[in-house]
Amino acid sequence: METAPLNTATNSKLKAFFIEQLQDIYWAERKFVKKLPKLADAATTQQLKDALANHLSQTKTHVERLEKVFALIGEKAEAKKCPAMAGIFEEGEDIVDETDEGSAQRDVGIVFAAQKAEHYEIATYGGLAQLAKTLGYGEAKDLLGQTLEEEKGADLLLTQIAESGINYQASREKE
C-alpha cells in the first residue's frame, strides 16, 4: 500500500487540488446514490429502470472506492458540494416534472440527464486518475481508473438504450 508520493518534489498545491477534486466527486457520488432510485422510479421502460438500478449499485461501489482513496493518501473522507452536479441533478428533476408519467419522452429526458452526470464523472475521474499517477499514488490511480471505466460503460449503455427504441418511440408519441 502506497501512503506517500514517490515524487518527493511534489507540489503541495497540486496535492491540495487533487484532494479538493476528490471531495467534489465524493459529494456528487453520494448525492447520486440518493437520486438514482428516484430516476429509476420515474422512468417508463423496464430497460431504463434496470440500467439505473444497476448503476446505483456501481455508484455505491464508487463511494467506497473514494473512501479507500482518501485512506490511501492519509486524508479523511470529506464531501464538498459540487455545484455542477447539483445543477445537473436539478435539471433531471425538472425533466421528470415536465414530462408525462409513462411516456417515452420522459425516458429520453432521463437519459439526457443521466448522460450529463456520467460525462461530468468521466471528466473528473479521468483527471483524477492522471493526477494520482503524477503524484505517485499508484493504488489510488488503479481504483480511480476502475471507476472511470464503469462510468464509460454506464454512458455507453445509456446511448444504446436511447438508440434501441426510446428516441424513436418518443418521436411517434401523441402530444
Distance between CA 146 and CA 14 in Å, rounded? 22
Beta carbon nearer to Fe ion, 15 or 152: 152
Nearer to Fe ion, 2 or 91 (CB): 91
Choose which of 24, 51, 143, 151 interacts with Fe ion (CB under 5 A).
151
Q: To the nearest whole angstrom, how small is the minimum distance from the Cβ of residue 38 to Fe ion?
A: 15
Q: Is the dihedral of CA 31, 32, 37, 43 positive or negative?
A: positive
118 vs 122: CA distance, rounded Å: 6
Residue 111-140 contact track with Fe ion, rule CB under 5 A, x = bound: -------x--x-------------------
Q: How far apart are CA 110 and CA 112, in angstroms?
A: 5
Lookup: cell for 136: 505517485
Q: Does 24 bind Fe ion (CB under 5 A)?
A: no
Give the interface with Fe ion as residue ranges (CB under 5 A). Answer: 59, 62, 118, 121, 151
